[in-house]
Amino acid sequence: METLKKSDFWYDLPEELIAQTPAEPRDSSRLLVYHRDTKEIEHRIFRDITDYLKAGDVLVVNRTRVLPARIYARTVNGGAVEVLLLKRLALDEWEVLVRPGRKCRPGTHLVVSEELALDVLSVTESGERIVKFVYDGTFEDILSRVGSMPLPPYIHEKLSDPERYQTVYSRENGSAAAPTAGLHFTPGLLEKIRGKGVEIAEVLLHVGLGTFRPVKEENVLDHKMHSEYYEVSEEAADIVNRAKREGRRVICVGTTSVRTVETVADKDGFLHACKGNTEIFIYPPYRFKCVDALITNFHLPESTLLMLVSALCSREEVLHVYDVAVKERYRFFSFGDAMLIV
């Protein structure tokens, strides 16, 4: 197999096409539909997605909620430190990103507020910190008071309603970033989809910041994925497995749902209930075991997410579709428009 290069996944994107605010209402964003068999491209509105779904289809969604994971602390000398929660390791222990790192050597004590402080325990190989939080009360409650929503670095406008960076079906706190393909759904649209006889299977993957972390190595195979926590329930596995047995389609909403399902699936595409951590990295010529179609946003150049999408079609096809999307002035990234690959 020839070496996959990071630069193979580059495309030019005018900065003004990076969406700064979400579409209002959610399902009024645009939808590019790509048919893999005919190579046809259609331009629709997201709520038209019901035209492409049929009775028996299964939509796999990620029910995670984004934590108000960005907090500001001070050292004993008064130096300001930004802390970004990445992953819970134990009740009080988290893996975090800190800026500036030089102020956060092991043993450093940081104060966030009267009710929250943290101690730096160690530094990971890739430069994150393992910290232990010190507090009285419930951590989530305190975090809701002192933390703010960790919007991606390419979004510069303040979000007036933090719920717009959550899906309408989000239920379980734990992510540092939203599973953004799900942001386009409204309760009414989901009701309409269910009314067509489409089943919805909920899985959980707490999204880490690996979503935004650029691939640094030119040889793609040298890139190491960040570990993310996932859960697949008995109920979700049953819904997907019945569909697989009966030859019905499994359509993932977002790359996080894809990574969860493909982590758990056996070689025949069947799931079993389980929980754990995944570092799955999907890139061409990966053969999908379970996923038949994908709803996703438009991703950053040279990102692992663009590589995943390129495994479902081909790199050349995806870059062609992105080229069309740029010419048609689609909006890109987290608050941008959507793409359906069937």
Q: Say whether both 170 and 104 belong to one domain.
A: no
Q: Say whether both 280 and 234 belong to one domain.
A: yes
Domain interval for residue 207: 6-66+160-341
User: What are the tens digits of pLDDT across the range 15-54?
Assistant: 999 999 999 999 999 999 999 999 999 999 999 999 999 9
**312 has pLDDT over 60:** yes
Q: Say whether both 140 and 178 belong to one domain.
A: no
Q: Say whether both 256 and 306 belong to one domain.
A: yes
Number of CB atoms found within 10 A of residue 153's CB = 8
The pTM of the full predicted model, rounded to 2 decimals, is: 0.94
Q: Say whether both 236 and 172 belong to one domain.
A: yes
Q: Say whether both 311 and 226 belong to one domain.
A: yes
Distance CA 151, CA 87 (A): 16
User: What are the tens digits of pLDDT across the range 99-120?
Assistant: 998 889 999 999 999 999 999 9
Q: How many domains is the chain built from?
A: 2
The answer to whether residue 151 sits within a structural domain is no
Fill in the DSSP letter of residue 160: S
pLDDT of residue 212: 62
Q: Say whether both 198 and 289 belong to one domain.
A: yes
Residue/partner pairs of 75-83 with CB below 8 Å, 24 or more apart: 75/103, 75/108, 75/109, 75/110, 76/109, 76/111, 79/103, 81/110, 83/110, 83/112, 83/118, 83/131
Q: Say whether both 74 and 118 belong to one domain.
A: yes
Q: Say whether both 141 and 178 belong to one domain.
A: no
Domain boundary among 119, 146, 173: 146
Q: What is the percentage of the chain residues whose pLDDT exceeds 90?
A: 89
Taking a C-beta distance cutoff of 8 angstroms, is the pair 159, 149 a contact? yes
The answer to whether residue 297 sits within a structural domain is yes
**73 has pLDDT over 80:** yes
The answer to whether residue 293 sits within a structural domain is yes
pLDDT band per the 50, 70, 90 thresholds, residue 3: confident
Q: Say whether both 133 and 232 belong to one domain.
A: no
Strand partners, 123: 129
User: What are the tens digits of pLDDT across the range 189-242?
Assistant: 999 999 999 999 999 999 987 766 778 899 999 998 888 999 999 999 999 999
pLDDT of residue 160: 87
Domain boundary among 146, 178, 204: 146
User: What are the tens digits of pLDDT across the range 238-267?
Assistant: 999 999 999 999 999 999 999 999 999 999
pLDDT of residue 126: 84
Peptide bond into 100 cis (omega under 30): yes
pLDDT of residue 158: 85
Average pLDDT, the chain: 95
Residue 80 sits in a domain whose CATH number is: 2.40.10.240
Q: Say whether both 171 and 216 belong to one domain.
A: yes
Q: What is the percentage of the chain residues whose pLDDT exceeds 70?
A: 99
With both helix axes pointing from N to C terminus, report the angle between 304-312 and 315-327 in degrees, rounded to the nearest 10: 110
The answer to whether residue 155 sits within a structural domain is no
Residue 37 sits in a domain whose CATH number is: 3.40.1780.10
Encoded tokens for 91: 């009740």
Number of CB atoms found within 10 A of residue 1's CB = 6
Domain boundary among 123, 146, 169: 146
